[in-house]
Structure 1
Amino acid sequence: MNILNSISFRIRLSAVGRYLSCLMLVFHVGCAENSLDYTELKQINEKVTESELKKYLKVIKLLPKDKIPTFPSVYAPAPAWSHIRSLPIEDLVNSEQNNLSQLWDIQRISDHFGTRNRTLKKALHRRDMSKDQFISFTLALGLAASRTQLRPDQNLEEIIQKGEKIIHQLQLDKRPFSSLSLEEKHRTLHEAMWIARVNRVKQLIQVPPENINLVKSHWDELKEVLPPEFLKNPLGDLSDTLEERGIPFTINEAEDSDELLEWTSMNAIIGTDEPDPKPEKIR
């Protein structure tokens, strides 16, 4: 009797095992059918095609108010080290550079973008696009949009060259930041602003001209949907007018030319009084 019970139990267990195996197989096939065939991410130095842009905009049209959910910022502010930071300046600079480089990481952005937004997930699913792909398109198009907002005199290569020289000098400074005088701290933070400038420009300079032209041709659509930080000068909040342009002044050559200056002894005002032998002290 015990033998029969044992055999019966094994048969039931085997049947349950086959059922679970079939269930897992069906689940696996279902997941495979819902998976994306194409999951490659768009790099910021790669050309975005018209068809890719249309697909991107179709996702956005499925979102509330045709707007992208709040997008994590990738443009870091200038360093604002506390006056009591005791680390050497070189360490503060290196740490700042490492932190800024992580801002552009797709995974970092994905962890803070639309994590509980079901509407976004549904829109991406309907258009066969992963969230990371959507983020990569936002960065590629956003940086191209930023390029269109630069002033003509903002030469990216020159900014990198100048900035790297200043940053290199900061990296040679082994003094604790807290040991500096107030004036030295102010000057150091002013120079450290180049860390953020160079970080942004090294991304901006990678944008291909095709993407800039694509953004310009679809500006009316993109300006309504791209994150706000991509719609203004990307270096505007890090600008220093005196450093970039100097103190402005103009000379009217028609009126202020030295050649127009006239002097004659007849028109000169010449003093004739004797010097005061006991001049009063100026208080």
Structure 2
Amino acid sequence: MAKFKHRLSSLLCCLSGLLLCSAGCSNESLEYTELKQINEKVTEAELKRYLKVVELLPQQKLPTFPSVYAPAPAWSHIRSLPIEDLVNSEQTNLSLLWEVERIRDQFGIRNRSLKKALRRRDMSKEQFVSYTLALGLAASRNQLREDQNLEDVIEKGNKTIHQLQLDKRPFSSLSLEERHRTLHEAMWISRVNRAEHLIQVPPENMNLVKAHWDELQKVLPPEFLKNPLDELTDILEERGIPFTFAKDDSDELLHWTSTNAIIGSDEPDQEPKQIKIQ
């Protein structure tokens, strides 16, 4: 009996030790997987750590990064759902694109080089994804033009989206012209989604990206290196239809030379006799 108690006591001590080790590992794991939010400042040290991971990758290039910028809706003419349901579904799908877990599961699948680089730099894949998003969005916002005001885009877009959410007609019941107009207005769903994420970028991150642009433009995913709103811009809606295009119909473009001129040799027509009206 005493022998059994001694063995049981030893077993309990071992279990206690395992639990303590487990608790310690748990705390380390939480610190290890802390993620950077897109509205949080990225420090110089964090950027340096991020770039050190990239340095270990083949040709210092990231594997293909899952896109977070969704194109404009392109609903099929046979979709029988009401427009309001299509809009709500589109918004839900766009929000899922930004989830770190979704990106992690699709980024660098079975890529041993990425896995090895992250392990050597003590960074989780989720952390790497979150840094890519924070830096990428800052790079995107730096590409915006002065006339692209994000607050205006969000305000105007939400008004249009709200009107679409009041439309209970089945999309398939619309005429060709109505479907075209509805899809044109539904483009605001993608615009607003992008603008709502871009507007969260801290100015510190924009300045950090500008300061390290020579390095970052070589490693960030391509979709973050161009203006994020231009492909969803309606030129006619923003600027109207010009009367003439630049430099068209200008007198400066009219050139005359005697060698190129066509000179007639016929005698001029005689002046017609005036007809008296009685």
Q: TM-score range by the shorter chain?
A: 0.7 to 0.9
Query: Aligned partners of 2:44, 2:184: CA distance in 1, in Å?
Result: 42
Q: How does 1:218-257 map to 2 (within 5 A)?
A: 218-249=212-243
For residues 240 and 96 of structure 1, the distance between their equivalents in structure 2, rounded to whole angstroms, comes to: 20
Query: How many residues align structurally?
Result: 250
- Amino acid corresponding to residue 202 of structure 1 in structure 2: E
State which of 18, 34, 49 in structure 2 corresponds to 1:40.
34
Please, which of 46, 49, 60 is the counterpart of residue 43 of structure 2? 49
Matched, 1:106 2:100: yes
Q: Contact 2:187–2:232 at 8 Å: present in 1 too?
A: yes
2: CA distance between counterparts of 1:63 and 1:273?
A: 94
The residue aligned with 1:186 is 180
Determine the structure 1 residue equivalent to 2:209. 215
SS at match of 2:161: helix
Q: How many angstroms apart in 2 are the aligned matches of 1:194 and 1:152?
A: 20
Q: 1:176: how far off?
A: 0.3
CA contact (8 A) 1:36 1:130 kept: no
**Does the 8 Å CA contact 1:91/1:171 hold for their aligned counterparts?**
yes
**Counterpart Cα distance in 2 of 1:98 and 1:39:** 26
Q: Deviations over 1:225-247 (max 9, x none)?
A: 00000000101211111011112
Matching of residues 15-34 of structure 1 within 5 Å: 32=25
Report the Cα offset of residue 151 of structure 1: 1.2
Partners of 1:103 and 1:201 lie apart in 2 by 14
Q: How many Å separate the matches in 2 of 1:162 and 1:273?
A: 66
Task: Name the counterpart of 2:54.
Answer: 60
Q: Take 2:117 and 2:196, find their aligned partners in 1: how far apart are those partners?
A: 32
1:160 equivalent in alignment to 2:154: yes
**Structure 1 gap segments, 5+ residues each:** 1-10, 256-271, 275-283
Secondary structure in 2 matching 1:80: coil
Deviations 1:139-193 (A, max 9, x none): 0000000011111110100000100000000000000000000000000000000
Percent identity of paired positions between Structure 1 and Structure 2: 75
* Contact 1:94–1:171 under 8 Å retained in 2: yes
Tell which deviates more after alignment, 236-245 or 191-200.
Answer: 236-245
Which residue identity is paired with 1:164?
Answer: N
SS of the residue corresponding to residue 51 of structure 1 reads helix
- CA positional deviation for 1:32: 3.7
Q: Is the 8 A contact 2:32 2:124 kept in 1?
A: no
CA contact (8 A) 1:145 1:231 kept: yes
| TM-superposed deviation, 1:36 | 7.0
Code of the aligned partner of 1:239 = T
Give the match's secondary structure for 1:116: coil
Let me know the Cα RMSD of the aligned residues.
3.2
The runs of at least 4 consecutive aligned structure 1 residues that moved more than 6 Å come to none
Counterpart CA distance in 2 for 1:182 and 1:100 is 26
Separation (CA, whole Å) in 2 of partners of 1:37 and 1:43: 15
Distance 1:211 1:249 in 2: 42
CA distance in 1, matches of 2:226, 2:210: 14
Partner of 1:198: 192
1:109-143 CA-to-partner distances (Å, cap 9, x unmatched) read 11111231121111111111111110000000000
Query: 1:122 corresponds to which residue?
Result: 116
Q: Do the aligned residues in 2 keep the contact of 1:36 with 1:128 (CA within 8 Å)?
A: no
Post-superposition CA distance 1:75-111 (Å, at most 9, x none): 0010000000000000000000000011101111111
Q: In structure 2, what is the equivalent of residue 269 of structure 1? A: none
Equivalent residues of 1:78, 1:192 under 8 A apart: yes
**In structure 2, C-alpha distance between the alignment counterparts of 1:55 and 1:224, rounded to whole Å:** 16
Which of the numbers 63, 79, 83 marks the counterpart of 1:85? 79
Measure how far apart 1:249 and its partner are.
4.6
Contact kept in structure 1, 2:81 and 2:171, CA below 8 Å: yes
- What is the TM-score with the length of structure 2 in the denominator? 0.79
TM-score w.r.t. the length of structure 1 is: 0.78
Looking at structure 2, the residues matched to 273 and 248 of structure 1 have their Cα atoms a distance apart, in angstroms, of 47
